[in-house]
Structure 1
């Protein structure tokens, strides 16, 4: 890993996945909001220490007209349906994080960022093969992006203190299993952000 072939990916830190105004029923984001200040601090550290590319992902409006056919079909099941009712654009705006001019922003309409061919092309054009993963939801778009990226040939570092999911107990438990077993055994190095910065050597591998 070195500064040229390593990118930080910040997944879906948007109001629709973070802001208290977008909470509904069991969908609570308290743990996510508690994680965000540490993420903001790490982004600054990454730029200063690693000097690699930072890539933010965000979502299209999460409504029927913007989503792909497979999600629309999935959402015909009342147990799965998760359309946004927001029509103001508030849900898609970044929450607390502020991309800078040299950062890349990718907008997606499904869970896996690698479903976007433009995202893949950005990585290949820049020679990026190592992705440092942060963001939400651990058991949703983070998981899907890691699976899609691994299949595409990327290598991963997953920062377990900077990925998070909703407050619901079952999702918290699932996220714990992913961080303790699935991610480190099947997809990539799984560590804290401090361990990553402290262990950075900047050597090509």
Structure 2
């Protein structure tokens, strides 16, 4: 049995991976022989989906000009702009639910010595040309710019958790469920999701709110995260759940 869910540049399958009903993000690129191995472990559970906790936070990873726009060598507009639109919808829902909103961006160009290794092995030196690009490129896109009450973290590596106070902030807000969005899916988003799961947060990744320079890397990374570390869900479902969770807490 198959169903389809539309997202920014294609269709994903929702398949029955075993005799039990298990919804999962499975792009067409994943071969059936691979799915057979996942189905072996999938037989042990009724569903890969986990129930949300009571306190939700939204983590918007690196939705900066440098990643979302073709004007920058790191950017891709045809995936970045739809992710901006999806993030705007999630941010609105989080604000309505009074949920913490935390943004990340890279460290400023002069934060470390010029030859210090950047976020990835191909980041290159922080020379004058890089500094000029990074001055605007490292700014969160205006369409989803933080409000004064939001938190913005500069992170030195791919994961939003590495060498930052993110985990402490989330514990301060008693967060148990962390929604992770942003760019790139295969890089900083995935690294943050793995560390979020390792830190015992229930992690959710909205499909349309993450994006990548590589569409195939985006799809396979979402699939891999859904199998192991997070619930990968359509934005509409995540927005509904944010509202339902806030309403349930208010009624207690």
- The equivalent of 1:6 in structure 2 is 56
Question: By how many angstroms is 1:2 displaced?
Answer: 5.7
**Residue 128 of structure 1 pairs with residue 178 of structure 2:** no
1:66 to 1:135, Cα distance in 2 relative to 1, 3 A: farther
- The equivalent of 1:32 in structure 2 is 80
- The equivalent of 1:95 in structure 2 is 141
- The equivalent of 2:94 in structure 1 is 46
CA distance in 2, matches of 1:138, 1:66: 28
**Residue 140 of structure 1 pairs with residue 184 of structure 2:** no
Question: By how many angstroms is 1:94 displaced?
Answer: 1.3
- The equivalent of 1:19 in structure 2 is 69
- The equivalent of 1:176 in structure 2 is 219
- The equivalent of 2:22 in structure 1 is none
- The one-character-per-residue Cα deviations of 1:13-56 (angstroms, maximum 9, x if unpaired) are 111212332136xx5332112321232132112211x3211111
Cα RMSD of the aligned pairs, angstroms, is 2.7
CA distance in 2, matches of 1:183, 1:73: 21
Question: By how many angstroms is 1:61 displaced?
Answer: 3.3
Larger Rg: 2
Tell me, yes or no, if the aligned pair for 2:67 and 2:76 is still in contact at 8 Å.
Answer: no
SS of the equivalent of 2:86 reads helix
CA distance in 2, matches of 1:165, 1:154: 24
Q: Unaligned regions of 5+ residues in structure 1, if any?
A: none
Higher relative contact order (CA 8 A, sep 6+): 1
**Residue 154 of structure 1 pairs with residue 197 of structure 2:** no
How high is the TM-score relative to the length of structure 2? 0.67
- The one-character-per-residue Cα deviations of 1:68-101 (angstroms, maximum 9, x if unpaired) are 96x46973xxxx3545643231121111221112
Tell me, yes or no, if the aligned pair for 2:115 and 2:125 is still in contact at 8 Å.
Answer: no
Aligned residues: 190
Tell me, yes or no, if the aligned pair for 1:134 and 1:159 is still in contact at 8 Å.
Answer: yes
How high is the TM-score relative to the length of structure 1? 0.80
Q: Unaligned regions of 5+ residues in structure 2, if any?
A: 1-51
- The equivalent of 2:36 in structure 1 is none
1:51 to 1:86, Cα distance in 2 relative to 1, 3 A: same
CA distance in 2, matches of 1:108, 1:32: 20
1:128 to 1:162, Cα distance in 2 relative to 1, 3 A: same
